[in-house]
Structures are given as C-alpha cells and as structure tokens.
Homo-oligomer: A and B are copies of this chain.
Amino acid sequence: MLSDVAKLAGVSTATVSRVYNEPDKVSANVRERVEHAALTLNWFPNAAGRALASTRSHIAGIIIPTLDDQVFASQVSGMQAAFAARGITLVLGCSNYDPAQALMQVRAMLARGVEAMAVVGEAHPAELFDALRRYRVPYAVTYAYREGSPHTCIGFDNHAAYVEITEHLIGLGHRSFAVCIQPTRDNDRVQARVAGIRATLERHGLAVRPEHMFEGESTMGFGRRSLRTIWQAPCERPTAIICGNDHIALGVLREAEELAIAIPGELSVTGFDDLEIAKEMRPALTTMRVDTYEIGRLTAQHLLDSLDGKRPLNGQKVNALLQLRQSTGPSAR
C-alpha cells in the first residue's frame, strides 16, 4: 500500500499521494524516487481508499433499456470512450424497459457514489430524478430531446422525426397508413413517434384506422406477421407502412417479397435507425439515421463539463436525417 511506497522512497505518505494527484507540486527528484518505489512494489492507488478520502469516486453511470439494441450499445460505447479518456469508469445498468428496475439501478449507482449519470428517456419514476437531484448528481436524459423538458436532454426529437417521415409519405400522395411500432408502454420515445405520426395525419384530415395500428416486439418477425395480417384483412389496404425501427421494417419488406407485394409500387415502407443492412436491401429501405455514438460522446462531454463547473448543463439536439431510398414512392391510389 501507499505507506510502503512512502517508506521505500524515504518520503511521507502525503508526498506519495501528491505524486499521483498534483505531480507538479513535487520536485522532479522526489517524484522519480516515488515512481520507482511504486514500480518495484507494483503498487497503484486503491480506488476505495481514494474515494473515501477525496469524496470523489471517479465513477459515472448510465441506464439503458437493453444492450440488445445496437443504438443503445453504441451510445454506451461513445460515453465509455469519452469518460475513460478522463479516468472515469462508466458503470452500466439495464432496465429492460422496466421503470422499477431503472429506479433500483439508479439507487445502486448512487450508493456507489457515481459523480454523474445518464438515463435513456424521461419516462422514469419521479423518485429517480428526485434522488439524482437530492444527491446533487449531474445527469442527462439521452436519446430523446424534447423542448420544454425539465431535464437536460441530449438526443433527437422523436416527435419531429416521425412528423418528417409522415410528411414525406403524404407528399408522395399517400392517404392510407399502417403503423408497426415497438411497445409504447413506459417508453416516451416510442410514444412521441406515434404522436408525431398521428398529429401529422390529423393535420391533413387523416388517421390510422385501429386495425392498421400494430404494437409488438422489435423484430423482423413482428413486421412480417403484421404485414400478413394487414394483407389478409377484408378492409381496404394501406399504401404506406410506417415502422418504429429498421428491424420491423425489414420484416415488412421481407414479407412483402413473400406475398409478392410490389415495393414501392403497391406499398411504401419506412424504418428508423439506418442499420448497415438498410441500404443494402433490395429495395433499399427509406429510414432515418441518428448518430448514437455521438449522442454518447456528447453526453459524457456535457457531464464532464458540468463536473468541472464549466457551465450549467444544458441540452443539445442531435439531428435525425431522413435517408430517402427505394422503399418509398408515389402512392398508386
């Protein structure tokens, strides 16, 4: 431990500590001796002791719904890299889309003494944000950005993004829509997307009929089943399907091939996320692209600035960019 190093180097423990925390307050000569001693003793500072004495844990936390979704994984990746460059360890919690689990994870992280936190979305129990504020832990809501949110948001505007998608389709002459989307429960991002679709349609005097509204798991299978159901139903078929993400849209595309539905001739399809395969599919998928790694990087940067007392944490909007490709075209009707 530290005192052994001090003894070997023939200095006090305070000096050893300084060598690692305020190196330029130590003479080069002494510093060298200490570093040598540390090396031969194979010593490095113990984080717990350090945290206790300095009341700084050098830990930050992030809560995401799941690592199974690439968009969250890459956000974690971006934060991790940015924090690591500043000697801060990122600890990860998965809520599995369950607010109660998110709250538990945040509490556990508070107990660990996290210095900053990021949580995906704002659909969380009030206690979660209360706890963060009570312990004066700077935090940011990521992935989603909403004007008027009480939180620091770093992400994109889910509502606006789906307004853009819907307007694109309406501009192509579509008037009859189906929607295939992930579970909306406890998910403000998905809710905002649906709201964006509805509001836009309404503005044009349109609406999604209930039998064309599908909510289910984020898989190709869900997309496939939904399209099959739509096509088998006796009611009028939609000319466009708006999907909650690329997985679902790819399933729709795949099933359309099976059912010999011409795309975009007979049916237009849109996704979200712009997975690598989206542009490689035939027809290539019209979708929206968001740089989630960048969201992570930005979030870490904001939190670090806030820890440095540089500036009050304020939100930042990231753009979602529409990638027009072959899966959308003029309405046949």
Contact surface of A with B, Cβ cutoff 8 Å = 42, 44-49, 51-52, 57, 66-68, 70, 73-74, 76-77, 80-81, 84, 89-94, 105, 107-108, 110-113, 134, 219-220, 224, 247, 250-251, 254, 257, 276-277, 280, 282
Please tell me how many copies of the chain the complex holds: 2
Interface core residue of A48, A68, A111 (most chain B CB under 10 Å): A48
Shortest A75–chain B CB gap in Å is 9
Question: Would you call A91 and B90 a contact (CB within 8 A)?
Answer: yes
A-B contact pairs, 15 of them (CB 8 A): A45-B111, A47-B48, A47-B51, A47-B112, A48-B57, A48-B113, A67-B80, A70-B70, A70-B73, A89-B108, A90-B92, A91-B91, A220-B277, A250-B277, A254-B280
Point out the residue from B47, B52, B80, B282 that lies within 8 Å of A92, measured CB to CB: B80
Output the least CB separation between A140 and chain B (Å). 19
Q: Across the interface, which residues of B come within 8 angstroms of A277, CB to CB?
A: 220, 250, 277
Select which of B77, B84, B247 is within 8 A of A67 by beta carbon. Answer: B77
CA distance A276 to B275 in the complex (A): 13
With A52-B49, A219-B276 known as contacts, the answer to whether A68 contacts B57 (CB < 8 A) is: no
Q: Choose among B46, B112, B282 the residue that contacts A113 (Cβ–Cβ < 8 A).
A: B46
With both beta carbons as reference points, the residue of chain B lying nearest to A66 in the complex is identified as B77
Minimal Cβ-Cβ distance residue in B for A101:
B84
User: Separation in Å of the A247 CB from the closest CB of chain B?
Assistant: 7
* A113 partner residues in chain B, CB cutoff 8 A: 46-48
A77–chain B nearest beta-carbon distance, Å: 4
Whether the pair A81, B94 counts as a contact (CB closer than 8 A) is yes
| A48–B282 alpha-carbon span in the complex (Å) | 55
Contact between chains at A48 and B51 (CB < 8 Å): yes
Quick check: A250 and B66 within 8 Å, CB to CB? no
Contact at B254–A276, with CB atoms within 8 Å? no
